[in-house]
Amino acid sequence: MALPRFGQRHLNVVADPDDPAFKSELHRSVIERFEDEGMELDAEPSVLFTRLEDSVRDWLAERGEFIPDDAMQTVLQSLYHEMTGYGPLQPLLRDDGITDILINGPRHVFAEREGKLERVSQQFLNDAHVLRVVRRMLAPLGRRLDESSPMVDARLEDGSRVNAIIPPLALDGPCVSIRKFRHDAMSALALVERDALPAALLSELEQAVERRRNILISGATGSGKTTLLNALSQSIPSHERVVTIEDAAELQLRNNHIVRLETRPANSEGEGEISARQLVRNSLRMRPDRVILGESRGDEVLDVLQAMNTGHLGSMSTVHANAAADALVRLQMMVRLSGFQGSDTLINRIIATALDLVVHVTRDVNGHRHVLEVQRVVGFDSDTIQLETLYHRHEAPWTQLASARVQA
């Protein structure tokens, strides 16, 4: 949209629109004028822009200042985003090429594009400005962010996830992490085209899903675990009933018979929490064919493993780990955290008989995400769970023998 041009009106003091103090005072004054006049922010954009220009012009005239025409367009756009959206974040949120937005205080904003983090030009005026925007995001959710509740993790109305932590816990100002929600889940074919995994391996993994193998996907934060889980889930037969359990809904299954469950944090009084373990246990009363746990984090792991061992074949989950073998060690720790009193041998037996495959994904230094290894669970003893390497991106190429063992 072309913004109205602003004349200089014989004023001889050129204001610096990039000066933080100037911007802060301008934003505060214009927003106050709109509130005093009762201007509706959902008015037509052209009407709102005209009113914005009039307010800015009046405010500058009172100060004996002017802003050059080209800079005025940027000022008006910034004010428009501030009043109708999420301020400096608005263009980043609208950019489909950006997957993550990270804010380390008002002056340091980063965005991830194609796996690479880069600092962007967008900035906030001060800490209060960051808080104002984040609280605007949280308001429709009924969530708080203040000194009494200085941390928050929430799913926005569009599916994006926001995590924020503020002083006194964050020493250098508000820190915010936003994981944008993809409304078009990446297809399995797109993963092959991006060299995330070989076509032959994808085909075998899809067949493993169809044949109801229990699969654990491991990897570091941002390595593509959920992306791969989404892609593989498309191979679940459409007649099967699937129950998903997540802390913040990210999965985009296209199955015809799906029930999505989401945990609920405690309220400001510390009450009302619904944990993943409670949802897993409840899901088993809902006659699922498969249970998909978005991320294995704690004591719910024991219940998911028991579900895999009691007829809910084809269930899947993800876990944070640095390697496939490490993923199983993490599961052992989580089972212990659940209060389970059995021996190490029994814990290994539960895990080894529940899982069929562990698929480990990684992100390299260039930001490229790919499947690094596929391990088949073949047995256990008192000390370890025994794995067999079926695929390794840098060492073991996919073979017909590996194909046969996936289906075993």
Cβ atoms of 369 and 223 within 8 Å: the answer is: yes
Q: Is the pLDDT of residue 23 over 60?
A: yes
Residues 253 and 107 placed together within one structural domain of the fold: no
More confident residue, 6 or 296: 296
Q: Over range 352-373, report the average pLDDT.
A: 94
At 150, which CATH number? 3.30.450.90
Distant-in-sequence, close-in-space partners of 284: CB < 8 Å, separation ≥ 6: 291, 303, 307, 312
pLDDT tens digits for 105-154?
Answer: 999 999 999 888 999 999 888 898 899 899 989 988 888 899 888 999 88
- Return the pLDDT at 320: 97
Same domain? For 169 and 54 the reply is no
**Do 251 and 166 share a structural domain?**
no
Strands 290-293 and 242-246: parallel
Asked whether the beta carbons of 331 and 192 are under 8 A apart, the reply is no
Sheet holding 385-392, edge to edge: 258-262, 242-246, 290-293, 316-320, 215-219, 357-363, 369-380, 385-392
Q: Are residues 298 and 260 in the same domain?
A: yes
Q: How far is CA 171 from CA 6, 105, 165, 167, 189, in A?
A: 41, 10, 10, 6, 44
pLDDT score, position 70: 76
Q: How far apart are CA 70 and CA 77, in angstroms?
A: 12
Residues 58 and 202 grouped into a single domain: no
**pLDDT tens by residue, 209-246:** 999 999 999 999 989 999 999 999 999 999 999 999 99
Q: Is residue 8 part of a domain?
A: no
Verify that 103 and 227 share a domain, yes or no: no
Residue 319 lies in a domain: yes
Bridge-based pairing of strands 151-155 and 258-262 is unpaired
Task: Give the residue numbers spanning the domain of 24.
Answer: 13-84
**Domain assignment of residue 2, yes or no:** no
Using N-to-C axis directions, what is the helix angle for 300-308 and 324-337, rounded to 10°?
110
Q: Tell me, yes or no, whether 192 and 158 share the same domain.
A: no
Identify the H or E element spanning 70: helix 69-84
Q: Has residue 4 been placed in a domain?
A: no
Q: How many residues does the chain have?
A: 408
Helix orientation angle between 199-210 and 225-233, rounded to the nearest 10 degrees: 60
Quote the CA–CA distance of 377 and 318 in Å, as a whole number: 16
Q: Using the 3D structure, point to which of 36, 65, 84 is the last residue of a domain.
A: 84
Are 387 and 298 contained in the same domain? Answer: yes
Indicate if 194 and 75 belong to the same structural domain. Answer: no
Coil, helix or strand at residue 246: strand
Residue ending a domain, choose from 32, 50, 84: 84
- Domain membership flag for residue 293: yes
CATH code where residue 255 lies: 3.40.50.300
Question: What's the CA gap between 352 and 378, in Å, rounded?
Answer: 7
Render pLDDT for 35-91 as a digit per residue (tens, 0 to 9): 666 555 555 667 777 777 888 878 888 888 878 777 888 888 777 777 777 888 989
Strand (E) or helix (H) holding 357: strand 357-363
Instruction: Give the Å distances, CA to CA, from 245 to 215, 298, 331.
Output: 16, 13, 17
Q: Structure pTM?
A: 0.77
User: Within this chain, do residues 226 and 167 fall inside the same structural domain, yes or no?
Assistant: no
In a domain, 7, yes or no: no
What is the pLDDT, as a whole number, of residue 3? 44
- Count of domains observed in the chain: 3
Residue 13: what pLDDT?
A: 65
Is 278 exposed, middle or buried (CB count within 10 Å of its CB: 0-12, 13-18, 19+)? middle
Are 79 and 94 found together in one domain? no
Q: By CB neighbour count within 10 A (0-12 exposed, 13-18 middle, 19+ buried), where does 215 fall?
A: buried
Query: Looking at this protein, which amino acid is placed at residue 27?
Result: H
What average pLDDT does the segment 368-384 reach? 91
State percent of the chain over pLDDT 70. Answer: 90
Q: Parallel, antiparallel, or unpaired for β 242-246 and 151-155?
A: unpaired
Token pair 């359990």 is found at 245
Span 152-185, pLDDT tens digits: 988 888 888 999 999 999 998 999 999 998 777 7
Shared domain check, 301 and 208: yes
Closest CA to 327 of 183, 176, 218, 204: 218
Position 208 in a domain: yes
Tokens 């459409």 belong to 238
Assess if residue 6 is contained within a domain: no
- Which residue among 179, 208, 228 closes a domain? 179
